[in-house]
Amino acid sequence: MSAHPILSKLLSHGLTQMEIHRRSGIPQSTISHLHTGRRGKRPSYDVIVKLEKLLRDISTASASFTDVSSLGEGANEHHPCD
């Protein structure tokens, strides 16, 4: 199992390696090594689980923000029934 695709998605959401560390508890040096491929061994199951959970949390928060921000569209329009 590779952590690189998960890390790439987290970074594309605008998180830094330090933010990923802060939110997941994974050492920043481990995140850097996994991202650059310098880590000689496969990541532990625990690391993958933490990264996947963070990605789910970020994706859910991002989707919620998008849903809420679209609620304002058309709010000032006058409807004939009013």
Domain assignment of residue 27, yes or no: yes
Q: What is the pLDDT of residues 28-71, one digit of tens each?
A: 999 998 888 876 668 899 999 999 999 999 988 877 765 555 55
CATH code, domain carrying 19: 1.10.260
Domain that holds residue 49: 4-58
Domain assignment of residue 71, yes or no: no
Residue 7 has pLDDT above 70, yes or no: yes
Domain assignment of residue 44, yes or no: yes
Name the band, by pLDDT with cuts 50, 70 and 90, for residue 73.
Answer: low
Domain assignment of residue 33, yes or no: yes
Assessment of whether the complete model's pTM goes beyond 0.85: no
Domain assignment of residue 70, yes or no: no
Helix (H) or strand (E) holding 29: helix 28-36
Q: Give me the number of domains the chain comprises.
A: 1
**Confidence (pLDDT) at 22:** 97
For residue 62, CA distances in Å to 8, 12, 13, 14, 38 come to: 16, 12, 9, 11, 30
Residue 3 has pLDDT above 60, yes or no: yes
Domain assignment of residue 77, yes or no: no
